[in-house]
A and B are shown apart, each in its own frame.
Chain A
Amino acid sequence: MPKLNARGMSFHIQQAGEGSDVILIHGVTGDLSVWFLSKAIQELGTTHRATAYDLRGHGYSDVPPDGYTSGDHAQDLLAIMDEIGAPKAKIVGHSFGAVIAAHAAAIAPERITAVVFSDPYFPALRHLEDASKWGHWKAFRLEAEAAGVTLSDEHWYDLDKFFDQVNHLNDERMLKFRQAVGLPAMTRLLRLGKTTCGADTKAVAGLTTELIESIKAPSLAIYGAASPFLATADFLSERLPNCRTVTIPNARHRAPEENPEAFVHAVKTFIESVDA
């Protein structure tokens, strides 16, 4: 499988097509397969060189013990751009991948020419959102409870607390939990749980409200119509000088999976409007 070395680590990357660069950034606990399942990489690859990579700690990339803030990941992204020969790129991030995209766009505005923010929730903007609205988490919690694992509602965003609660399970209970919540790759999830990823993902890490507001590149805030983070969508469209918003019907937090056709269409339309 294609690997490249950047910042002393090995990253798994996948590329499709030729042309100007578009880079796809998945969310925490995910991996680059979301861009294949949604068909985003295949579709963007018809007009661009589309590159997807597994974040550090995820998929088939290396798993360092620490360095999981949006700032660390943004430096990884810029180093990967150097390695693939992309001085500039348009970038598409989903969930925490969009936080990484924002961080990169803010610290390297000369390199990031457009940004798609898919359903992010920013640590610095936590005050905007009511975490209890996150229906996905509520459903996950009920499924976990049925498998004998009680997850605290108060720590829904708290990956390290989540990892603490599942790390001690024996093999049999882990299998039951894994089947109940539909997480096939528990080995990878638990591997991530032994890093600082959980805590780092909650850290502002320099991506302050002011820094988010400083992003001037053309951007698209794309949110599920039933996303729990619509207050963040409003913030982005009101405060960023060059940001428009689109909502995806029949989707909550995971539009690339919940309504892939509409998601990919919106992304492609935006990317092509920036090219024009």
Chain B
Amino acid sequence: MMSNDSRHAEILAEVAGLMANFHGREYLGDIDENTRFFADLGLASIDAVVLGETLQAHYGQPLPFGDLMAELGRREDRDLTMGELVEFLAKHLESRSEGTSCRS
């Protein structure tokens, strides 16, 4: 059983890898848990919709991104940190099977 910290670090690395070539990315730079999706990465909420699909395909399971988007829509600053995204994924991902394939 992996510790929460290393699980989080693993998910963050996976998300950062998926985002390295993500459409709509305007600014390059390292991604850590404090990186903000909109203010720092220059992404827009439409990119979040598409990233949600990319992550579901990557992990091969449905995830409640509709709920996450609705929650985001009710935030004052409308922004999401990578740490929060990782937290969401860690909460909803079933224990990952070994054979999960990586899609580009």
Contact residues of B: prevailing secondary structure: helix
Residues of B contacting A62 in the complex (Cβ-Cβ under 8 angstroms): none
Q: How many A-B residue pairs have CB under 8 A?
A: 70
Contact pick for B66, options A34, A42, A184, A187, CB 8 Å: A42
B42 touches A260 (CB 8 A): no
A16 to B53 alpha-carbon distance, docked (Å): 13
A231 to chain B, nearest CB (A): 29
Residues of B contacting A42 in the complex (Cβ-Cβ under 8 angstroms): 66-67, 70
A242 to B93 alpha-carbon distance, docked (Å): 48
Report if A5 contacts B (CB, 8 A): no
A-B residue pairs in contact (CB < 8 Å), sample of 16: A1-B50, A16-B66, A33-B69, A36-B49, A37-B69, A37-B78, A38-B70, A39-B70, A41-B66, A42-B67, A178-B42, A185-B24, A185-B26, A186-B26, A187-B24, A257-B73
Report if B90 contacts A (CB, 8 A): no
Report if B45 contacts A (CB, 8 A): yes
How many residues of chain A have a CB within 8 Å of chain B? 26
In this complex, which of B39, B43, B47, B67 has the most chain A Cβ atoms within 10 angstroms of its Cβ?
A: B47
A37 touches B66 (CB 8 A): no
Report if B74 contacts A (CB, 8 A): yes
Residues of A contacting B48 in the complex (Cβ-Cβ under 8 angstroms): 33
Contact pick for A187, options B26, B39, B67, B78, CB 8 Å: B26
Report if B44 contacts A (CB, 8 A): yes
Which of chain A's residues has its CB closest to B25's CB? A187
Contact pick for A59, options B38, B46, B66, B74, CB 8 Å: B46
B81 to chain A, nearest CB (A): 14
Interface string of B56-83 (1 = CB under 8 A from A): 0000000000110110111000100000
A141 to B67 alpha-carbon distance, docked (Å): 33
A185 touches B66 (CB 8 A): no
Residues of B contacting A59 in the complex (Cβ-Cβ under 8 angstroms): 46
Q: Say whether, besides A33-B48, A185-B46, A60 and B23 are in contact (CB < 8 Å).
A: yes
Report if A179 contacts B (CB, 8 A): yes
B49 touches A39 (CB 8 A): no
Residues of A contacting B69 in the complex (Cβ-Cβ under 8 angstroms): 33, 36-37, 39
A179 to B77 alpha-carbon distance, docked (Å): 12
Task: Scan residues 175-195 of chain A and give those whose CB is less than 8 A from a CB of chain B.
Answer: 178-179, 182, 184-188
Contact pick for B38, options A31, A36, A184, CB 8 Å: A184
A273 to B48 alpha-carbon distance, docked (Å): 33
B43 touches A33 (CB 8 A): no
Residues of A contacting B50 in the complex (Cβ-Cβ under 8 angstroms): 1, 60
